[in-house]
Structure 1
Amino acid sequence: MKPETSVPTQYWHRLDNGKVQCDLCPRFCQLNEGQRGLCFVRGREQGEIRLFSYGRSSGFCIDPIEKKPLNHFLPGTPVLSFGTAGCNLACKFCQNWDISRSRETDRLCDQASPSDLAAAAAHHGCRSIAFTYNDPVIFHEYAIDIARACHEQSIRSVAVTAGYVCPEPRKEFYTVMDAANLDLKAFSERFYEKICGGQLQPVLDTLEYIYHETSTWLEITTLLIPGENDSDTELEALSHWIFTHLGADVPLHFTAFHPDWKMLDYPATPIETLRRARQIALEQGLHFVYTGNLPDPEGNTTWCPQCASAVICRDGYRITEWNLTADGCCTQCQYRIPGVFEADHGHWGSCRLPIRIDTEAV
């Protein structure tokens, strides 16, 4: 049975001027009848805000969990990844812009109910399911229903998100998320306003909420764009904020920008920038700082903060050395490495496997 694609939503209210305001994210879109919000998948119909992409996807793929990126959450295991369309930010550098900025719901050619997705993840041996490619904030109801269906089959849920969400829906969302990689795009209001069409503070609020108020495992990613968010001053401020507000043990990933969408005239990020950023973050007291999107053995490795030995070595997304005990401690000094680990790591490697969800067979 094909899932319903238009469903009512909870977070909105009517205004005195006759419009309806969506209260899911800090954009607070105010809509007349028939209008869509900036995300495009939520809009006003028959006097209420509805989600128009429930049960629809732009595609499904099995990835290594490290690609999210998550280095301390079930390392080496496969994750069923999927997204829908639209986004509640407008980042000029978006590398999935054909999905996130899409205004054509016909792109959502794949359909699957929450139970279909849970069954498919179990069938393919995935340990988790990731809401990614575009931000799951905008398909809030669908993501929550999928997470609940997956939990019934002992499959965990992962949010790859920019964290641009209001407090009440945020609370509901993270009651069912087992892990999150939050994209902290920069550490300046200027960048968020000029490059992303948003604000920094709601993102910082989400980071603090996840870390202090939930059991969701948290990692952070910052994509470094030459000349925009890669100065020593900004990197020091970003790293210091994480250290003082979240602590030393939240993993931070610095990843490389490549020219895309509306920022084709910018150069790609050199590996030296990622290494410099990593060193700055380590000097600010962070224990687990990674580099990504470019080969860098040292920046891909998980190092023990106590004895400085390599506890997880990686070649890209493939684990090449594992020096953790069954309870996640360094085998050299018994220091407990924070994360969600098991007695042995997974062996999925770097494989990326596109799949179809057979709603009749699964």
Structure 2
Amino acid sequence: MSKGGLTTKEAILYHKLDEDQVKCSVCHQACTISEGKRGICGVRENREGKLYTLNYGLTIAANIDPIEKKPLYHFLPGTRTYSLAAAGCNFRCPWCQNWEIAQSPKPHKQVEGIAASPEEHVRRALEYGCPSIAYTYSEPTIFVEYALEIMKLARAKGLKNVWVTNGYMSRETLEAILPYLDAANVDFKGPNDGVYGTYCGGMAEPIMENLKLLYKAGVHLEITTLVIPGVNDKPSQLEEIARFISSELNPAVPWHVSRFFPAWKMTDTPVTSVETLKKAKIIGEAAELKFIYLGNV
């Protein structure tokens, strides 16, 4: 195995434009990228009118985790999952818990990682007795080429595939992974009230639509909301999230309400109070949600 940005692969989801520009269609950022430039994620680069993914085959993290850590409480409970990530993310959340790997390639830095083939990951998962592989830690959407090849091999070997994601993938990406996706935990930060636009560089609507599509497709779905003081901890915001899960998905979809701890660019923001999480649980119960879990308590 070797270290460093040595592996590139032509992206699977993009369109060529005039003057050697390309339009990436892997997520809802839909970046238009000029020659020699990268997209918002920092790992997709236009080279002479072709879009290349710079993180293909480069693993920035790999671990064996309890499936509950994803968190998934109603999917293969009590088992361990083989977890992996490549560098990069299509969001810029200032509270990012894994910013060292998710934000490291931006704007134009070397893409770090250890070279590992899709076959090697599947072999490791089987050797460690893990019944599933989780694509996690960063954002699997922006290493979809790598993830998809692993997912296909995993499915052929009887392993389950899990995405831990911000849910901002494009419809094209979602359609590509759905035949191989068994479960997902989606980080839903809040309703359409400006949280995504102000802090993350995105919008709520595509995520809400993708949540509905995932549920409709029969993917096991659980939702996590990291409750951050001054960002999305108002009762009205939590009520909207709970109502959305209950009315647009299913009251039986688990909701993980997690406590924020200072990180990255929000080291001066206080820790979320346990009382706030308890209020969120009451709000979820009022919306008739059946499974509400308090995280990081």
Alignment partners' CA distance in 1, 2:118 and 2:130: 15
Letter in 1 for 2:183: A
User: Shift in Å at residue 46 of structure 1?
Assistant: 2.8
**Structure 1 residues 235-256: Cα deviation after superposition (integer angstroms, max 9, x where no partner):** 1111111111001111110001
Query: Secondary structure, in 3 states, of the residue corresponding to 2:294?
Result: strand
User: Partners in 1 of 2:255 and 2:23 — Cα distance?
Assistant: 35
Alpha carbons 1:181, 1:221 under 8 Å: kept: yes
For 2:179 and 2:162, the matched residues in 1 are separated by 12
Counterparts of 2:43 and 2:159 in 1: how far apart (Å)?
27
Q: Distance in 1 between matches of 2:170 and 2:154?
A: 25
Structure 2 residue 185 is the aligned partner of structure 1 residue 181: yes
2:105 aligned with 1:120? no
- The residue that corresponds to 1:216 in the other structure is 219
Aligned to 1:130: 134
Separation of aligned partners in 1, 2:98 and 2:126: 27
- Paired residues in the alignment total 292
Task: Quote the residue 1:237 is aligned against.
Answer: 240
For residue 259 of structure 1, give the secondary structure of its aligned residue in structure 2: coil
Q: Contact conserved, 2:20 with 2:49, CA < 8 A, in 1?
A: no
Instruction: Give the alignment of 1:286-297 within 5 angstroms.
Output: 286-294=289-297
Does 1:152 pair with 2:156?
Answer: yes
What whole-Å deviation, never above 9, does each CA across 1:311-333 have from its counterpart, x for those lacking one?
xxxxxxxxxxxxxxxxxxxxxxx
Relative to the length of structure 2, the TM-score reads 0.94
Residue in 1 aligned with 2:199?
195
User: Are 1:283 and 2:286 an aligned pair?
Assistant: yes
CA distance in 2, matches of 1:41, 1:201: 25
SS across alignment from 1:160: strand
Q: 1:43 to 1:14 in 2, by over 3 A?
A: same
1:12 is displaced (CA, Å) by 1.2
- Structure 2 unpaired stretches of 5+: none
Q: Aligned equivalents of 1:154 and 1:179: distance in 2?
A: 14
Aligned to 1:15: 17
Query: Which residue matches 2:62?
Result: 60
Return the letter of the residue paired with 1:196.
C
- Confirm or deny: 8 A CA contact 2:87 2:111 kept in the other structure: no
Q: Which of 46, 49, 58 matches 1:44?
A: 46
- Partner secondary structure for residue 107 of structure 1: coil
Write the distance in 2 (CA, Å) between the matches of 1:271 and 1:229. Answer: 15
What is the rounded CA distance, in whole Å, between the counterparts of 1:59 and 1:179 in structure 2?
20
Partner of 1:99: 101
Secondary structure of 1:44's aligned partner? strand
Gap regions ≥5 residues in structure 1: 295-362
**TM-score after normalising by structure 1:** 0.78
CA distance in 1: counterparts of 2:143 and 2:20, whole angstroms? 25
Q: Which amino acid aligns with 2:112?
A: R
- Tell me which amino acid in the other structure corresponds to 1:33: E
Q: 1:250 pairs with 247, 253, 256, which one?
A: 253
Q: Which has the higher helix share?
A: 2
Counterpart contact for 1:189–1:199, Cα < 8 Å: no
Q: 1:29–1:37: 8 Å Cα contact kept in structure 2?
A: yes
Asked if 1:165 is matched to 2:172, the reply is no
Deviation of residue 18 (structure 1)?
A: 4.2
CA drift of 1:189 comes to 3.7
Deviation of the 1:10 alpha carbon: 2.4
Find the structure with the greater CA-based Rg: 1
Q: Is the 8 A contact 1:187 1:229 kept in 2?
A: no
Using the TM superposition, give the Cα deviation of residue 106 of structure 1 relative to its aligned residue in structure 2, in angstroms.
5.1
Give the Å deviation of 1:99.
Answer: 0.8
TM-superposed CA distance for 1:105, in Å, is: 3.5
Question: Do 2:43 and 2:111's aligned partners in 1 also have CA atoms closer than 8 Å?
Answer: no
Q: Equivalent pairs: percent with the same residue?
A: 41
Q: How far off is 1:271 after superposition?
A: 1.3
SS, match of residue 237 in structure 1: helix
Q: Which residue in the other structure is 1:227 paired with?
A: 230
Q: Which whole-Å CA distance do the structure 2 matches of 1:50 and 1:67 have between them?
A: 32
Deviation string, structure 1 residues 114-138 (Cα, Å, up to 9, x no partner): 1110000000111111111100000
CA distance in 2, matches of 1:36, 1:240: 38
- What CA distance in whole angstroms lies between the structure 2 residues aligned with 1:48 and 1:189? 36
Measured against aligned partners, the alpha-carbon deviations of 1:275-294 in whole angstroms (never above 9, x if no partner) come to 11011101101111111111
| 1:71 matched residue in structure 2 | 73
> 1:259 and 1:187 mapped to 2: Cα distance?
22
